Amino acid sequence: MQDKSKAWSGRFNEPVAELVKRYTASVEFDQRLAEFDIQGSLAHARMLGAQDIIANEDVAAIERGLAEILEEIRTGRFEWLLDLEDVHLNIEKRLTDKIGDAGKRLHTGRSRNDQVATDVRLWLRATVDDVLVRIGKLQQSIVELAEKHADTVMPGFTHLQVAQPVTFGHHLLAYFEMLKRDAERFADARRRINRLPLGAAALAGTSYPIDRERVARELGFDDVCENSLDAVSDRDFAIEFTSAAALVMTHLSRFSEELILWSSPRFGFIDIADRFCTGSSIMPQKKNPDVPELVRGKTGRVNGHLIALLTLMKSQPLAYNKDNQEDKEPLFDTADTLLVTLEIYADMLRGITVDTAAMRLAAAEGFATATDLADYLVKKGLPFRDAHEAVARAVRHAEAQNCDLADLSLADLKTFSSLVEADIYEVLTLEGSLASRNHIGGTAPQQVREALGRARVYLAKTE
């Protein structure tokens, strides 16, 4: 007995088993493509009419029917049926119920293979645009916080050990630069996403005299996919988007690790606003940085989606295979996770309070100006390796005295090099160390302000 509900039911002698229906259906998650499916169908129908493949009255009926369906979807009145497998067949069946045979003519010259590839590209293009806006808003929050702390001294770390003094503004702007590269990656990926698969049909193209360039222009695509086999089977665009998303999440995971450390009483550099934290069910004193911790955790989730998509595609022969249905859930979840993370992060940074005294105190520990002492000796004529050795001995001596280099007497410092003069104490101050890094990319407050100016110009151009 045939299953008349299926668009392909004429080939089969028995209905699909109920378990198989549930296993193979995608409508529960791909219905988010509905508006893009309608957008693509309208462009396809208008092209069919312009090419005299279907009658103009059919085009008018299709336009009217799809407009009514779009309104049903937007108002929550559309009934999604599992029996109809996916978003495409649900909409097509509803259209045929509304307008009769004209609805059956809509699928002329196309396949679900090129249809779904088009829908996903339309959705992903819009998603990239949203991601770029949210990256910009996060960068704005970083700039606003960095502007307040262009002069705030903090320890810079390598190996999580105190290395050299930096300003907090300079540290924050490192993440601005990471996000700048992230935005460039998404903008670059968008160009490859923005190519039209429709017209490739199932895998070989179509015998109808279609005009793919017309459809591409109406849908705002930059170009058409030039090989029909590649057009329906390619999922590079999904992998590339997820890869770019994984990098953003990795950058924010690194930032989150620092926020978690800095908010700990052991550091005490910052306080995260209460609305981004939770307490403990047993320890009443606790204030847990849940949001940055979850960002770290969700980074693993997005990384997993990237591996899932790469694995999905690695063994597929050309052209389309049912495996490709599995691209949507990891792709959709990646987008959802990234978008909400960017939004909440921008808000969280606006709720951060900085303890500048704690930062300064930490920068004064760990011999953060040791390199400045070595540079001082080099400028006096000592080879750098000899200067390095002399300062290392001075650090050991200061450790034994339980004091900083700047607390050693001039006589003590001279025992490590006769080149040391009274002006050494200008070099050993935190402000002196910062001011000496006065070149592009350096941590000197003047350079931080210039970098902030460039960041402002960049943000103005990207709005």
Distances in Å between the Cα of 324 and the Cα atoms of 144, 165, 241, 311 are 43, 51, 16, 11
DSSP states of 258-322 = HHHHHHSTTT--EEE-GGG-B--SS-TT--B-HHHHHHHHHHHHHHHHHHHHHHHHTTPPSS--G
Given 26, 159, 233, 256, which residue is catalytic?
159
Contacts of 349 (CB under 8 A, 6+ apart): 138, 141, 142, 144, 145
**Amino acid identity, position 430:** L
Sign of the dihedral through C-alpha 103, 104, 109, 114:
positive
Q: Which of 233, 280, 417, 436 is catalytic?
A: 280
Could you tell me which residues come within 8 angstroms of residue 78 by beta carbon, excluding any fewer than 6 positions away? 34, 69, 72, 90, 94
Per the annotation, the verdict on 280 as an active-site residue is yes
13: exposed, middle or buried (Cβ count in 10 Å: 0-12, 13-18, 19+) = exposed
Q: CA geometry: angle at 196 spanning 194 and 197, to 5°?
A: 130
| Residue 220, helix vs strand vs coil | coil
- Phi, psi for residue 321 in degrees, rounded to 5: -135, 155
Class of residue 172 by CB neighbours under 10 A (exposed 0-12, middle 13-18, buried 19+): buried
Euclidean distance between the first and the last CA atom of the chain, given in angstroms as a whole number = 59
Number of alpha carbons in the 13 Å side-chain half-sphere of residue 381: 4
Do the Cβ atoms of 363 and 149 come closer than 8 Å? no
Which residues, at least 6 apart from 159, have a Cβ–Cβ distance to it below 8 Å? Answer: none
Amino acid at site 104: K
Q: Is 439 a catalytic residue?
A: no
Asked whether 45 and 60 are in contact (CB, 8 A), the reply is: no
Contact criterion met (CB below 8 Å) for 56 and 49:
yes
Contact 378, 387 (CB under 8 A): yes
Contacts of residue 34, Cβ cutoff 8 Å, sequence gap at least 6: 70, 73, 78, 87, 91
Q: How far is CA 64 from CA 67, 70, 94, 102, 285, in A?
A: 5, 10, 12, 11, 62
The catalytic residues are 159, 280
